[in-house]
Amino acid sequence: MEKITDKIAALPEDGTYFSLEFFPPKTQMGSANLQARLERMSRALRPLFVTVTWGAGGSTATKSLELAEICQRQLGLTTCLHLTCTNSSKAVVDDALEQAKALGVRNILALRGDPPRSEEYNEDGLPTGGDKGEEEFVWAVDLVKYIRKTYGDYFCVGVAAYPEGHSDQSHPDDQNVEVDLPYLVEKTKAGADFIMTQLFFDVEAYTRFEKRLREHESGVFKSIPIIPGLMPIQGYQTLRRTTKLSHAKLPQQVLERLDPIKGDDEAVKNVGVDILSEIVEIIRDTASPVARRGFHFYTLNLEKAVAQIIERTDLIPPADTPSSESDEAIEVVDMAATLKPGGRDRRRLSSVNSAPHNRIVVDRSRDPSSSAVSRNANYEAPSDSAGIPGDRPTTRANTLAISEGEGSLGREATWDDFPNGRWGDARSPAFGEIDGYGVSLHVSIPQALKLWGYPTTAADINDIFLRHVRGELDAIPWSEEGLRPETNVIKDQLSKLIDKGWWTVASQPAVNGLPSSDPIVGWGPKNGFVFQKPFVELFLPSSAWKKLKPRLETPENKNWITYFAGDARGAFEASDEESVNPVTWGCFQGKEIVTPTIIEGVSFRAWIEEAFGIWGEWERVYPARSPTAKLLRGLREDVWLVNIIHHGYVEGDALWDVLLEE
């Protein structure tokens, strides 16, 4: 039941601390795995607090509160619940705050969220008939004021800041810290207790920003905790996409270190740990009138990189009191092996190997209530298990080693270490998410209008998809990035599908054992070989799906093709719903076969909900009664989302021959 600011104030004046951000996983399997991960990270890392994200408009409300309850009540972690207020009614906000209070959560990160929609829509995205209804939140400051008015000082309230300027809907191409400052002053005066920044990699921009705040003429930032937000580098494509969406600058010196290895996820992650560790060191060594330094890590529900960064930079707090896990053991220092750049040494507790190794074999029939048994239990082994190797001692140091991916247990714990978007493994807590905030167009309303204009016919939608495939349009609502080079291999086939009114949102060509260094489809370590099954995902009219489905199920096709299909009403069809289909894999020296891209029923079901949610988000860019909104609404209600995989990857054109057959 502690407030974040109270915990910070209780630290030594020269103390450091860190916090971790998590989001509700998309699948039940992901949630179960995240809980195990949270237990491990809370034990090994001991963050000062954790934060739980909140989807736009309350889209993840139930799951966010469930995750907050696990963190706060079950794991005993001081928890901060994100709360976005735009596109949400007062009733949604009130319910969230009341439930947070009931759970013992006393910390709220008050955010605006996505830019406000047209007033013709309510929080469920439905037309209101022109009435504004009960929605009253436009900016984060409105939420801060409301929390203070309603709950007094019960909640510790944090607000967001942007070290490189906020790319707002009204200024999408002009990020300016000075433009943002009056709003940050207003939020702070309204009752903010701490400030947390958006992610950044330009450490000089951050230090300038913090200095500007501390010296601001209003004086409101003089002593308030300012916590820099950092995102461990999980992979090259993830980094480029995240920084593009957040408008965070990637300094040239960072790119120079990553570009030569961008195809090797493992190498990128290792260099990324170096880069983030250096950023932490620079900020920690920068003079500040507020001595206690904190760092917030956007984990993306992954643990290996963040655990390595936190240990390398000595952010892990010591145990408060000696425990039965032998954490009170003396430190053993190998200076040659542990000395780090910058002068600090890296130390591990001797408790790594402090559990007893030699034990007495005893008869299991002995009275377990015997005081001698309880006194010597650590040094005894039952006779029926003597000779069976015991489990690795669950000390804090061993748990940390697992979180860092060391040994067989570490590999099992961090098996999903490299996020691969929504076509990764649905069992992963990181599955299918890039920022943890749920369904979104990831562009502002002015940017959406600039990109896609005002379509009024299906032909206009065709044109948007064709321009994207041809490289003339940077993004479509379901893809915020330009097409990758491998798409050029099948560009003609995709264009022909779009000409039929089948709108493609994901695809890949067949690849049969090309070198991992191939400039177009290569990935992973050098001297390996990569493979791909061709697949395509597309929206097509319900009438077209009725005609296509029997073709996929003919005797000559059904043994080679797997499909999954669904619509906005919840209908679902599949050739084999239980099938698990690796569609990208690689063989590398000294490694097991790596399968980063998997398509299966559970993952496709999760994506259906999001994909049709994006239709709704696109619709709400426009007034509810406009021709464009009516068009998008009608298409959303009619089209099917279909994913088709062809398993004959040695026959490069087999999939396209089936789909383009007249």
Q: What single-letter DSSP state applies at residue 216? A: -
Instruction: Look up residue 647 and give its two tokens.
Output: 């398993």
Q: Long-range contacts of range 63-67, CB-CB < 8 Å, 24 or more positions apart?
A: 63/24, 63/25, 63/31, 64/23, 64/24, 65/96, 65/99, 65/100, 65/103, 66/24, 66/31, 67/22, 67/23, 67/24, 67/31, 67/34
The verdict on whether 21 is a catalytic residue reads yes
Q: What single-letter DSSP state applies at residue 179? A: H
Distances (CA, A) of 264 to 511, 523, 562: 18, 6, 30
Give the separation between CA 564 and CA 573, rounded to whole angstroms: 6
| Residue 121 β-bridge partners | 127
Residue 503 backbone zone (phi > 0: left; psi -120 to 50: alpha; other: beta)? beta
Q: What residue ranges in 373-465 does DSSP mark as E strands?
A: 380-382
Candidates 21, 123, 186, 619; catalytic one: 21
Give the separation between CA 623 and CA 565, rounded to whole angstroms: 30
CB atoms within 10 A of CB 545: 21
CA within 13 Å, CB half, 368 = 3
CA within 13 Å, CB half, 339 = 4
Instruction: Look up residue 267 and give its two tokens.
Output: 């190498």
C-alpha triplet 400, 18, 230: angle, nearest 5°: 100
Q: Identify the H or E element spanning 290.
A: none
Distances (CA, A) of 662 to 500, 542, 551, 656: 11, 18, 11, 12
Give the separation between CA 35 and CA 30, rounded to whole angstroms: 9
For the chain, what is the largest distance between any 2 Cα atoms, rounded to a whole number of angstroms? Answer: 83
CB atoms within 10 A of CB 365: 8
Q: Long-range contacts of range 222-225, CB-CB < 8 Å, 24 or more positions apart?
A: 222/289, 223/289, 223/290, 224/188, 224/192, 224/193, 224/194, 224/195, 224/290, 225/4, 225/5, 225/8, 225/193, 225/194, 225/195, 225/290, 225/292, 225/294
Among 444, 456, 380, which Cα is nearest to 633's? 456
Place of tokens 């309230």: 157
Place of tokens 């308030």: 224
Helix and strand element counts for the chain (H, E): 23, 21
Give the separation between CA 485 and CA 487, rounded to whole angstroms: 5
Find out whether 51 and 296 touch, Cβ atoms under 8 Å: yes
Q: What residue ranges in 395-532 does DSSP mark as E strands?
A: 503-508, 511-515, 529-532
Give the separation between CA 29 and CA 416, rounded to whole angstroms: 13
SS3 per-residue string spanning 64-111: HHHHHHHHHHHCCCCEEEEEECCCCCHHHHHHHHHHHHHHCCCEEEEE
Strand 594-600 and strand 580-587: the pairing is antiparallel
Which residues participate in catalysis according to the annotation?
21
